Amino acid sequence: MNLKKSLLASTLAAILMSTPFLASAAGSDCHQNRHMSMQKAGFAHPGGLMDRDMFKALDLSRSQHKEIRSIIEKHRKGFADQREEMSDHKAEFMLALLDGADETTLNSMMSEKVQLIQNRMQQGIPMMQEIMTVLTDEQKDKLRQRLQ
C-alpha cells in the first residue's frame, strides 16, 4: 500500500511539474509571438524587471527613453544566448519526460533550469543598475512607491 501511495505521489508530482512545459509547448506560437514583440520593444514579462508599464508611468523624457533603449540593446546579445539555452533545456526536459526518465533525472534537470533562471537574473542586474542611473530622483521615488 505504501508503495502504491509513493508511486501515485511521484506520478502526480511529475505531471504537475511538467504541466508548464506542456502548456508552453502547446501554445508556444502565441506565447512566443508575444515575447518577440515585447523583446523587440526592449521589455520582458509584464510585471518583471523590465515591465513596460513600470517605466511608462515614470514619464521618461525622449533622451532618457533613447538612453534606456541603448542600454537594453547593449545587453541584448547576452539575453538572446540565454533564451536559446533555456529553450534547448526545455526541449531536453520534454524529451527526457517522453522517454520515461526517472524522478531523480527530472529533478536534476529542474535544478539546472533554476540555475539558468538565476544566471539570467544575475546577468540583468548590471543592465538594471545602468538604467537606474538614467532616472531622476523623482522618477526613482515614483518607481519605489509603485513597487511597495
Per-residue model confidence as pLDDT tens digits over 62-76: 999 999 999 988 888
Yes or no: say if 109 and 94 are a contact pair by the CB < 8 Å rule.
no
Q: What pLDDT shows up at residue 42? A: 42
Helix (H, G, I), strand (E, B) or coil at 42: coil
Domain range for 88: 2-147
Q: What pLDDT shows up at residue 41? A: 44
% the chain with pLDDT above 90: 31
Q: What pLDDT shows up at residue 57? A: 79
Q: What pLDDT shows up at residue 38? A: 47
- Give the span between the Cα atoms of 95 and 101, in whole angstroms: 9
- Give the span between the Cα atoms of 97 and 16, in whole angstroms: 12
How many Cβ atoms sit within 10 Å of the Cβ of residue 33?
10
Which residue spans within the chain are E strands per DSSP?
Answer: none
How many structural domains does the chain have? 1
Helix or strand holding residue 46 (H, E): none
How many Cβ atoms sit within 10 Å of the Cβ of residue 116?
16
* Residues of the chain where predicted confidence (pLDDT) is lower than 50: 21-23, 25-26, 28, 37-44, 46-47
Per-residue model confidence as pLDDT tens digits over 111-132: 998 998 898 888 889 999 999 9
